[in-house]
Amino acid sequence: MSLQEQIIAKLRVKPSINVESEVKERVAFLKDYVKKAGSTGLLIAISGGIDSAVAAGLCKMATDELSVETGRDYMTLGVFQPYGTQEDIDHSYAVAKAFDLKHTAETNIEDAVTEVALEVEQGLKGLGIHRHMTHQGKGNVKARTRMVMQYALSFELNLIVVGTDHASESITGFYTKWGDGAVDITPLSSLNKRQVRQLAAYLGVPQPILDKVPTAGLWDGQTDEAELGLTYDENSDYLEGKEIAPASRERLESIYARSAHKRNSIPGI
């Protein structure tokens, strides 16, 4: 078995999908988890990007169906988490409107991140290192602070925290471990980016979001594809078992090997 075949098997990506069946399966997966956990619903942070939009649509379908089937009120809480002023915050609100989310909350993380950064820089100063945090390090603090906010809300409301992780991110480890890579449930995990886009079109994600350049928004001008040095089309082709350019294959497999620790649970002895 080639490394490509091993990766595809591990991440459970299909070479093609029936979108309607995938939606039904993932909604059922969410419903079953909520019932078994005895929770009151789902929490999804809505960034304004396509991944969180698809997850939000699936969550809303799941809690709506549960409410009808049980006669109890289940909620999907959409959380908006700008860092200061977010230029595309209207896209987050557009997702909530498109899926008729009745419950939303906005938690601005700027002050909390600033305080953490100041304390880190004080710690560095104590080590004789006089500089600001790197923008990559501060970006990771943003991801982790967002998760602290989500889990604080979920605890108070007895909600399950839903992640937007999918196979095209997993293969590259393109998430902050124990930050945006640590959630309760991941309904998109076996889909590649192309397949997420297929679900987005089916669910009715607003067009401006479908047209956006993918970014984690960790610092100004950051884009996923520039950061990785690979396109999502190449990434998706690889995960569908197709041939890609040798240089792209080598880079993707190299990143996969380097990021193994992000896909693993905490090691013990």
Phi-psi region of 121 (alpha: psi -120 to 50; beta: other; left: phi over 0): alpha
- Of 87, 115, 156, 169, the catalytic one is 169
CA-based radius of gyration for the chain: 19
Q: Which of 51, 165, 224, 237 is catalytic?
A: 51
> CA nearest 145: which of 196, 96, 182, 170?
182
* Planar angle of CA 144, 147, 153, nearest 5 degrees: 150
Identity of the residue numbered 136: Q
d(CA 45, CA 104): 10
Beta strands in 61-124 (DSSP E): 75-80, 103-106
Active site residue 51: yes
Size (the chain), residues: 269
Known catalytic membership, residue 227: no
- Give the Å distances, CA to CA, from 240 to 129, 168, 234: 46, 11, 10
Angle formed at CA 79 by CA 151 and CA 236, multiple of 5 degrees: 95
- 222: its two tokens: 């950051």
Residues facing 185 on adjacent strands = 162
- Is the alpha carbon torsion for 93, 217, 87, 106 positive or negative? positive
Q: Which amino acid is at 38?
A: G
Residues taking part in catalysis: 51, 169
